[in-house]
Amino acid sequence: MDVAALLAELGEQSGDISVQCSNTGGQLAQLNRQINAEAERLTELVAAMEALDASQVESRAATGELIHTAQVAQVVLDRGNRVAQQSLDEVARLIGGVTGLDGELQSFLARLDTIGGISKTLTLIAEQTQMLSFNARIEAARGGAATRPFQVLADEIRRLAGTTSDSSAEVGRNIAALQESAAHLIEGLSANIAAGRETTRHIDGLRGALHEMAALVLQFQDRSQAIEGCNDRAEQAVSTLGQGLVAFREVAAESAARAEDARKRLDELESRANDMLNQVAHGGVKTRNTRYIELAHQGALEVTALVEGCLATGELTEDALFDTDYRPRAGTDPVQHDNGFADFADRLIRPILDARTRQDKAVVGCCLVDMNGYLPTHITERSQGQIPDQRLRNLEFARNRQIFMDGQTRRALDGADEYFLFAYRQDLGEGRFRALRSVFVPLHFAGRKWGLYEIGYQL
């Protein structure tokens, strides 16, 4: 194998190595971001576990207080229950005594009725005595002097009948008044007796309620003790989990550091492979990259001719061409910027970029990059209008007027060669990337270095 072929093979291998390094570096960077994100989540989890542990301690203390309160409540309730039971028993005996008067009151009413009957009998006797006195007086009048003693007897009998009648009437009035008073008294006592019977039923219900309250307090105490047991087990589990999370966080941090170190080493290896790739490309040996180097030169010449011609005619001013007053567009995410050259580039340079991209199906896209990484325009596919709240989509398909900068682009901007061939990772946002080979050709307008013409492709 001759030297040219060997150099060509070396160039191909260095290109493949560079792309693989770029691809692997991107994956490592993505892995590192994920590890760091998980480490942050672990930190949040550890904080949450600490808060949970504090809550467990507080919950345990509260549970202990509940159990103590339940025990005190049980003692107080038992004591109160005993006092209430004694009081209820006394009330029940009092009510029993009151309700027991019912029979005696009925017997008293019966005796009053009997006395009332005696009063009526006395009245009848008085009437009969008066009748007897009247008859005796008649007989004494018929007998003359011989029956005069009967006249005296008749008068006495008459006076006795009158006295008996008066006494009977007085007794009757007294008995009637007594019966009326007794009736009122019995009516009130009967109402109280009925209320006493109703109170007895309420007392029975109160006894049942006291028993239920005592049972609920016992059940509350049992549940509190069960909760205390659960808190103890949960506290042990939280402590174990917290220790595991702390250990896992430390391992994650160590892994992230190692991944970052590996990424840096891989970036260094990629840089050396890119140096080899670029050096071989400049060695005059034909490789698979040669066609795209030629396409990049052709595109850069076409853009240069257009810009120089417009500067000559005054259609484009040098101030607008080299304008670095990047004005952010409101409401764009990621932020897009306007300057004096962007509208001109969209109108006249974008068609050139579209046509150059269609020249080879391996070409991903062509673009312009100024000295600050600003892309005034891009191919039509990557210059679509932004859609609100779709940052990732906008980052990939609205790349025009955005500012991008990576190590390979910076090297090409700062370098003095006529072109640069590098492999690099095209950032698509949030860890997404695409490994490309890119040819960068410096652009000079009006005797000043403006930036780069770039063609990116995948082999």
In a domain, 188, yes or no: yes
173 against 389, higher pLDDT: 389
The rounded distance, in Å, linking the Cα atoms of 215 and 380 is: 81
Same domain, 214 and 317: no
Q: Is 141 helix (H, G, I), strand (E, B) or coil?
A: helix
| 212 and 356 share one domain | no
**Residue 137 domain-assigned (yes or no):** yes
How far from the centroid of its chain's Cα atoms is residue 307's Cα? 60
pTM reported for the whole predicted model: 0.53
Confidence of residue 100 (pLDDT cuts 50, 70, 90): low
179 shares its domain with 104? yes
Q: Quick one: pLDDT band at residue 322, thresholds 50, 70, 90? A: very high
Neighbouring C-beta atoms of residue 87, cutoff 10 Å: 11
Residues 370 and 434 in one domain: yes
Sign (positive or negative) of CA dihedral 363, 369, 374, 380: negative
| pLDDT at residue 230, as a whole number | 72
The Cα-based distances of 46 to 54, 55, 57, 236, 367 in angstroms read 12, 14, 16, 15, 47
**CA atoms within 13 Å, Cβ hemisphere of 17:** 19
Rounded mean pLDDT, 284-290: 87
Q: What is the CATH number of the domain that holds 362?
A: 3.30.450.20
Stronger pLDDT, 163 or 361, i.e. the higher one:
361
Is residue 32, in this structure, part of any structural domain at all? no
Name the residue range of residue 84's domain.
52-241
At 362 the pLDDT is: 96
Same domain, 177 and 315: no
The per-residue pLDDT for 272 is 72
Closest CA to 421 of 42, 14, 75, 4: 14
Task: Report whether pLDDT(412) > 80.
Answer: yes
Domain boundary among 224, 241, 258: 241
383 pLDDT higher than 90:
yes
Query: Percent of the chain, pLDDT > 70?
Result: 61
Q: Answer yes or no: is 378 within a domain.
A: yes
Whether 6 has a pLDDT exceeding 60, the answer reads no
Q: Which amino acid is at 245?
A: L
- Would residue 147 count as lying in a domain? yes
Task: Decide if pLDDT at 226 tops 60.
Answer: yes
The tens digit of pLDDT for each residue in 7-47 reads: 556 556 565 665 566 566 666 566 666 677 776 777 777 77
pLDDT score, position 213: 72
d(CA 293, CA 274): 15
Does residue 304 lie in a domain region?
Answer: yes
Q: Is the pLDDT of residue 215 over 80?
A: no
Q: Is the pLDDT of residue 159 over 80?
A: no
* Bridge partners, 338 (sequence order): 327
- Residues 59 and 202 both lie in one domain: yes
Q: What are the helix and strand counts (H, E) for the chain?
A: 8, 6
Helices (H), 282-421: 290-313, 318-321, 342-344, 350-357, 391-397, 407-414
The reply to whether 200 falls in a domain is yes
| 199 neighbors 167 (Cβ within 8 angstroms) | no
Instruction: Check residues 445 and 233 and name the one with the higher pLDDT.
Output: 445
% of residues, the chain, pLDDT over 90: 34
Please state, as a whole number, how many other Cβ atoms lie within 10 Å of the Cβ of residue 335.
13
> What's the pLDDT at 21?
62
What would the mean pLDDT of 422-440 be, rounded to a whole number?
82
Is the confidence at residue 374, as pLDDT, over 90? yes
CA dist., res. 450 & res. 413, Å (int)? 9
Window from 23-32, 127-136, 159-168 with minimum mean pLDDT = 23-32
Could you say which of 241, 276, 302 is where a domain stops? 241
Q: Is residue 266 part of a domain?
A: no
d(CA 406, CA 436) in angstroms, rounded, equals 13
**Is residue 309 over pLDDT 70?**
yes
The domain total for the chain is: 2
| pLDDT at position 95 over 70 | no
Most confident of 9-18, 268-277, 289-298: 289-298
Domain boundary among 241, 272, 297: 241
Tokens 């004494």 locate to: 140
Looking at the structure, do residues 190 and 315 belong to the same domain, yes or no?
no
Instruction: Give the pair of three-digit tokens for residue 389.
Output: 């709240």
User: What pLDDT, on the 0 to 100 scale, is given for residue 404?
Assistant: 92
